[in-house]
């Protein structure tokens, strides 16, 4: 059988070595199998989670510090791809929507990401500021869930960050009306070419008026660590009425 061009790379493949069901999944990828998974294969996608725990005594009293510790560890882990990727959940009416965005800054003020203010997410946030952020660090058997409110960062802050982006990304931000239906890929490329001609590489590309950052101010941050026998650790920090963080343990 010929190797599949999309087969898992060696380091990623190693992730699956000791997990019965998932190793079969890796085999599938490696052989480009198109046969649908049967029920037993899906049920076998179960791993025995590890020895690493998160105890109340180990957890930092400040959840932002605790988050930074976990983010740093995730960023140093070669199996975690894009440690700063997070799944942003927003609501429109009674319809939730989730998509990945990149964390660009974290501080006591909150979690900052950048996007198009007129995109689906931008429209949803303008209607309802309540959002969730989920960091899925699967190879480390870890997850962090942040609940909070999203507000736009200042224009100056957005402009400062925009100026640090690579030129193609700056042009891309102008060229794409994110989340709008477009005729075809050519029209997108045409937009990009026109903007690129207007602001050639090396020139200063101004901040698009509909693009900038959001800061998610958290009121709840939950840290999940996989453990043996499904007795996972879940520690949640929640702000009390006095704006002090209170730590509680949740059932896994």
Ligand X SMILES: Cc1cc2nc3c(=O)[nH]c(=O)nc-3n(C[C@H](O)[C@H](O)[C@H](O)COP(=O)(O)O)c2cc1C
Q: What does the block give as tokens for 10? A: 């060696």
Footprint on residues 59-98 left by ligand X (CB under 6 A): 82, 85, 97
Single out the residue of 119, 158, 170, 176 in contact with ligand X (rule: CB under 6 A). Answer: 119
Q: Is 120 in the site for ligand X (CB under 6 A)?
A: yes
Tell me whether residue 27 or residue 85 sits nearer to ligand X (CB atom).
85
Tell me whether residue 63 or residue 212 sits nearer to ligand X (CB atom).
212
The Cα 174–Cα 232 span in angstroms is 44
- Which of 47, 230, 234, 249 is labelled catalytic? 230
Residue 142 Cβ vs ligand X, minimum distance, rounded to whole Å:
17
Residue 88 Cβ vs ligand X, minimum distance, rounded to whole Å:
8
Q: Taking contact as CB under 6 A, which single stretch among the options 43-51, 116-124, 125-133, 185-193 is the one that binds ligand X? A: 116-124
Tell me whether residue 115 or residue 225 sits nearer to ligand X (CB atom).
115
Residue 111 Cβ vs ligand X, minimum distance, rounded to whole Å:
12
The Cα 46–Cα 155 span in angstroms is 46
Q: Is 102 in the site for ligand X (CB under 6 A)?
A: yes
Instruction: Answer for the pair 99, 111: CB distance below 8 angstroms, yes or no.
Output: no
Query: Which residues on adjacent β-strands are paired with residue 110?
Result: 107
Tell me whether residue 161 or residue 199 sits nearer to ligand X (CB atom).
161
Residue 230 known to be catalytic: yes
Footprint on residues 159-198 left by ligand X (CB under 6 A): 178-179
Single out the residue of 16, 70, 111, 113 in contact with ligand X (rule: CB under 6 A). Answer: 113
Instruction: Answer for the pair 114, 211: CB distance below 8 angstroms, yes or no.
Output: yes
Single out the residue of 99, 155, 230, 249 in contact with ligand X (rule: CB under 6 A). Answer: 99
Q: Taking contact as CB under 6 A, which single stretch among the options 110-118, 133-141, 158-166, 190-198 is the one that binds ligand X? A: 110-118
Task: Give the residue numbers annotated as catalytic, written as ranges.
Answer: 230
Q: Which residues bind ligand X (CB under 6 A)?
A: 82, 85, 97, 99-102, 113-116, 119-121, 178-179
């Amino acid at each position: 059988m010929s190797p599949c061009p999309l087969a898992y790379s060696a380091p990623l493949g190693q992730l699956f070595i000791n997990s019965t069901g998932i190793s079969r999944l890796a085999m599938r990828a490696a052989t480009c199998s198109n046969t649908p998974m049967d029920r037993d294969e899906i049920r076998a996608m179960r791993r025995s989670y590890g020895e690493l725990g998160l105890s109340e005594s180990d957890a930092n009293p400040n959840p932002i510090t605790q988050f930074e510790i976990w983010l740093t560890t995730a960023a140093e882990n070669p199996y975690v791809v894009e440690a700063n990727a997070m799944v942003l959940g927003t609501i429109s009416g009674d319809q939730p929507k989730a998509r990945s965005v990149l964390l660009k800054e974290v501080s006591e003020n909150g979690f900052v990401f950048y996007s198009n203010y007129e995109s689906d997410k931008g429209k949803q946030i303008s209607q309802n500021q309540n959002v969730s952020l989920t960091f899925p660090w699967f190879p480390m058997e870890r997850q962090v869930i942040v609940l909070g409110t999203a507000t736009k960062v200042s224009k100056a802050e957005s402009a400062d960050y925009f100026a640090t982006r690579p030129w193609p990304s700056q042009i891309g931000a102008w060229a794409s009306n994110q989340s709008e239906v477009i005729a075809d890929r050519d029209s997108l490329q045409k937009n990009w070419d026109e903007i690129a001609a207007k602001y050639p590489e090396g020139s200063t590309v101004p901040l698009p008026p509909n693009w900038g950052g959001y800061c998610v101010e958290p009121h709840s941050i939950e840290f999940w660590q996989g453990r043996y026998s499904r007795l996972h650790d879940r520690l949640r920090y929640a702000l009390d009425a006095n704006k002090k963080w209170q730590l509680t343990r949740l059932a896994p």
